[in-house]
Chains A and B, each alone.
Chain A
Amino acid sequence: VIGKLKLNRRAFLYGAGGVAIGLPYLEGLPERSAWAAGSEPVFAFFMTAACGVEPKRFFPTGTAGSDTLTALLASGEQAVTALKDHAENLIIVRGVNYPQTGPAGCGHAEGLSQALTGRAPRGSGSGAQGSGASVDVVISKAVNPAGTDPITLYSGNLNNGFIEERLSFDDSGKVRPATDNPYKLYMALTGLATPGSGGTGGTGSTGAGGTGAMPTPMASELSIRRKSVNDLVRAELNSLLQNPKCSAADRQRLQQHFDSIRDVENTMAGMGMGAAAGTSSMPVTSATCSMDGIDKPTFDGLSKWRYTKTATGAGGSEQIVLLHMQLVALAFACNYNRVGSLQWGDGTDAAIYDVPSNKSLGWGLHYISHRTASDGALGTNATAEAAHAEIDAVRMTTFAAGLNHFRDRGLADRCVVMWNNHVAEGNHQMKNVPHVIWGNGGGYLKTNQYVDAAGANNATLLNVLISAATGTPTTDFGSSAGKELTAIKAA
């Protein structure tokens, strides 16, 4: 049950585990990535799901380009019809290929490594990684303050799964760790959102973070303490950075550490705890940057959450995706961060979906997608194929529910949410990988259309989304070779 939360920051501080544990986790900031007046930001969120789709029952019926999505999704049983309420804000793209269009070893790791990099992977087998920065990292470097990492989330089995994080990569192609429990982002964000209607902790009218919401003595002490500690740690890092015995890699490592301190300091500044706040021109109102729509009891209940293999149950991957999306929408509305990614399932996702056709099988998604209970990718089990289509519908329903939060926070005109998959279908092919885009990217994208990319490299699509998110035309991302998928651009 999602309801309006009536919360003030003081109540939260003292309620969530007590000061000793709760306080240090509070680092909300509405102003971390302030922007100039008249240049409103575009936020970007990239979601990559596992193990392909059942294409015959996934894409809209009808020919791409023949009609609007409003019309194409109005009826029918295709998986994407679950998105019909968002048709006006959607672009569905078929015919997108990854640079490496088929597996050279393990298609799952290789697909994941291409999904947001637009480059053929580095290496093969289950250890394949990106061969360059992923789109979230590229955008983050362009629009977030220096040293601020993109939000990197995960819904799946990080405890004992197989092929875990393999979606977001830094400049060197090193995979970046992700956070699976929504509680962590929730804790980071809760301190920044203004109360829902009836709350008592500040007005939340201008995105300044409600300086009145933070208990003044505590805020002051926290600010003084962290400044004292951070100044010292920074000095120590500076000293180490100047050590002539350090290699370039050593310095890069220390600089990353250094920048991360600054990131948290920026957060504090946004809370009105260390620097002037309220420089935003974005109308961060109580309707957008607020706790409305955030189900506090559910999130509080996640403090001890651990992965469960049943995807469709409480605490399962579908619920976790939805909760992540709620928080990312809030994070964007509060300008906590401008970009994020979510890996939706392990590379070989063993999550079990409770859909009708899987009742007799009881298989995990990986096997469902292979149409056989093995790594063999050429199975023919018809029941599994039906189950896959049903799972697609479940996942699109989850996606649609998550998009509701973006819509309700007024992000349709200043956001791009992209959903794709790490393979096209269960046989590890990476041709015709489904892509769904929500939001017009600040007017940069032409929505309400079904596009056939006709085999275009996914980097050409990502070029357009980078352009939308950064405001800087980009045609050289990944292996795009100067091309962009112009069909998704507004005229």
Chain B
Amino acid sequence: LSANTHSARSALLAFVVAPLLSGTLGCSADIQGQAGGSGSTGSGAGHQGGSAGSAGSSGKGGTSGTSGSAGTPANPDSREVDMRGEPLYSRFLRLTVDQWENSVHDVLRLSAPTGVSQDFQHAVGGTTDFDNNERVVYVDNQAWRDFQAGAEAVALQVTATNAALQAVVAGNDAATFIKTFGRRAFRRELNADEVTAYTNVYTTGTTNAEGTVNAHTKGARYVIMAMLQSPNFLYRMELGDRGAPLSGYEMAAKLSLWIRDTTPTDAMLDAAENGSFDSAAGAAMQATQMLGDPAVARTIRKFNAELHKFALYDSIQKTGVSGWSDALNPEMKEASYLFFDRIFSQGLGVADMLTSTVGFAGPGLAKLYDINLKGSGIQQVDLGRAGYYAQAPFLTLWARNIDPDSIHRGVRINLDTLCAFPGVPNQMLPDIPAPKLNQTNRQVITDLTSGCGKECHGQIINPIGFAFENFDGLGRARSMDNGSPVDTSGSYPFAEGFEDFADSTALMQIIATGSQAHQCWAKKMAGYALERDLVEAERPLVVALGAVSQQGASLKDVMVELVKQDAFRTHVGGAE
């Protein structure tokens, strides 16, 4: 058995059994058992079927009282989407680094990204689903230095000459500049006090700024610097009464920063001012228009990249595997992006992600798929495989060198597509032994995980992973493993109960037909849109959105449906 040397994050993981614990996951599993916070009383864990009483699996606490202690063994026939979370319900959601970059680009009318944010402090990863989660977007010392430096740098850039400033706001009138630029930056109209305050800054600039530009440009330089450092720019705020509808401006900002990853356009702000966002139908219409904006593509890419951990494609490493080269990494990453891009852009839905046979391949992947490409570059092809998980990138990432990493494959699908918590990782993971004569990978893993981790592995993790046993560690199709036929059959306890399947194609069809994947995707996207964790109390929202998706709605339609919901359109959190 040759060594698996791809990145630690994608490390092969033996989710194997050790005495005393029933959960059998390892460090690469991305399992986040969270400690209980302040007082959940908890009904959540019972949905998870998690291992009873394992440290840290007690609920994520929080304010809703819906998460809570683990330990109630779930009914294995009724696995529902994991709804544990730790929302803060913050009303001050700092722009992500990308949102800052995109917004600065837009409010300054730049022709190219500033690049200034390239080395801004990033959000801490690995503790939330997405890097826009309220828990990881705030302003500390380093972030402030970054935002201050960035604001100063771009302001100097666009006021380097008088002509350059005219591209931001034409004319030389201070009030016009402050109101026009301020509206873009603050994503709303400035009030009179603000106009006065920024006029004072403008005046300070006219008399103190260095350089040979005229006084207006100097004043504007200070105003730009100040506005880009203002909390009104750096945070997306929701300041209404709890339960009250968001204002039109708040809705415009929320939608645009979610869907387009940038600040609203002037037209969107006009629409907000005119009340076009005020009703559910109006907001939905605005969202639909935004979803037609080309900028939405970067949002979808970010969402999928974080959900499916595309960054790991940069560091896949294998040793002594024929057919492998590092050049495959970028091709796999881009092919994965393109697959999900197509699902979204073609108006397809969750079921298509799981069952579509259309994929993408360049010259490297074509060899793995054993297909001929007619042109160069990465092309759309019919792979004859059901969905993303049967494609070579996923199968290569979650592999032990040339062997399938059945455990990780199963864990990832549980977590990312079914929102099923597979249990707490094991304490001490023994090595995966080399197979004996004619012993298949499946048999090796089954033997290894047949002890006290049986519940997690035998029912939840392994069956899904084993469905892909007909694909090796490079995603190449195979029918034999170590001299024996592969076995891809299994059974899994879905929300609707146990279902049997013959292989990954059948498995994906079951998942696509059932409710769980649809609800899971809805939960993930809602969390991304709301920039926080969801909790048990919001299960009805997830169920409703999932039902829309399950009936065949496109991803776009599910997103629009979310916009109609009170959970999206009203204030939460705030003073107790």
Contact = CB atoms under 8 A, between A and B. Distances in A.
B30 interface: yes
Interface in A174-212: 174-177, 179, 181, 183-184, 188
A201 B402 CA distance: 60
Contact of A257 (B57, B222, B231, B401): B231
Nearest to B207: A224
B415 to A, nearest CB: 11
A437 B462 CA distance: 46
A23 B149 CA distance: 8
Interface in A221-250: 221, 224-226, 228-229, 232-233, 235-237, 240, 243-250
Interface in B98-152: 116, 119, 121-127, 135-136, 138-145, 148-150, 152
A131 B35 CA distance: 9
Most chain B beta carbons < 10 A, residue from A20, A100, A102, A160: A160
A392 interface: no
A373 B428 contact: no
A61 B462 CA distance: 46
A177 B126 CA distance: 12
Given A232-B230, A247-B573, A260-B139, A123 B198 contact: no
B431 A260 contact: no
A20 B27 contact: no
Interface in B405-456: 424-432
B148 A24 contact: yes
B91 interface: yes
A104 to B, nearest CB: 4
Interface string B1-32: 00111011111111010000101011111111
B91 A246 contact: yes
Given A376-B16, A376-B430, A105 B33 contact: yes
B8 A350 contact: yes
A175 B138 CA distance: 12
Interface string A128-151: 110100000000000000011100
A124 interface: yes
Contact of A19 (B144, B156, B232): B156
B347 interface: no
A51 B58 CA distance: 27
A366 interface: yes
Interface stretch (B172-180, B309-317, B499-507, B545-553): B309-317
B91 A124 contact: no
A346 B125 CA distance: 12
Contacts of B21: 104
Contacts of A218: 210
Contacts of B426: 105
A250 B91 contact: yes
B167 interface: no
A165 interface: yes
A458 interface: no
> How many A residues touch the partner, as a band?
35 or more
B432 A374 contact: yes
Contacts of B138: 253, 256-257
Contacts of B324: none
A124 B25 CA distance: 11
Interface in A303-359: 309, 346-350
B157 interface: yes
A107 B428 CA distance: 9
B28 A375 contact: yes
A104 B121 contact: no
A278 B126 CA distance: 43
B240 interface: yes
Contacts of A240: 92, 231, 237
Contacts of B10: 162
Nearest to B24: A105
A284 to B, nearest CB: 22
Interface in A1-52: 19-21, 23-25, 27
A367 B7 CA distance: 10
Nearest to A228: B204
Contact of B127 (A20, A105, A129, A370): A129
B54 A124 contact: yes
Output the residue of B144, B204, B225, B428 with the most chain A CB within 10 A: B144
Given A124-B33, A124-B425, A257 B144 contact: yes
Given A124-B55, A348-B8, A348-B28, A105 B425 contact: yes
B359 interface: no
A172 B156 CA distance: 39
Contact of A245 (B16, B55, B240): B240
Contacts of A379: 431
Contacts of A243: 239
A370 to B, nearest CB: 8
Interface in B308-334: 311-312, 314-315, 319
A348 B27 contact: yes
Given A232-B201, A350-B9, A253 B424 contact: no
A377 interface: yes
A226 B148 CA distance: 9
B267 interface: no
B400 interface: yes
Given A159-B314, A245-B574, A309-B315, A373 B140 contact: no
A287 interface: no
B197 interface: yes
B33 A25 contact: no
B119 A375 contact: no
Contact of B143 (A163, A260, A347): A260
A389 interface: no
B5 A363 contact: yes
A410 interface: no
A396 interface: no
Contact of A162 (B8, B225, B431, B574): B8
A240 B432 CA distance: 56
Nearest to A373: B3
B241 interface: yes
A254 B94 CA distance: 11
B427 A233 contact: no
Interface string B210-251: 100000000000100110011110000101111000000000
B91 A23 contact: no
B5 A373 contact: yes
A347 B222 CA distance: 44
A105 B23 contact: yes
A184 B138 CA distance: 19
B3 A21 contact: no
B56 interface: yes
B156 A20 contact: yes
Contacts of B337: none
- Residue with the greatest number of chain A CB neighbours at <10 A, chosen from B90, B119, B426: B119
7 contacts: A122-B56, A123-B56, A149-B141, A250-B90, A250-B91, A253-B139, A256-B139
Interface of A: 19-21, 23-25, 27, 100, 102-109, 120-129, 131, 147-149, 152, 157-166, 174-177, 179, 181, 183-184, 188, 217-218, 221, 224-226, 228-229, 232-233, 235-237, 240, 243-250, 253-254, 256-257, 260-261, 263-264, 309, 346-350, 361-364, 366-367, 370, 372-380, 427-428
Given A159-B314, A229-B225, 4 more contacts: A160-B311, A257-B139, A374-B12, A428-B428
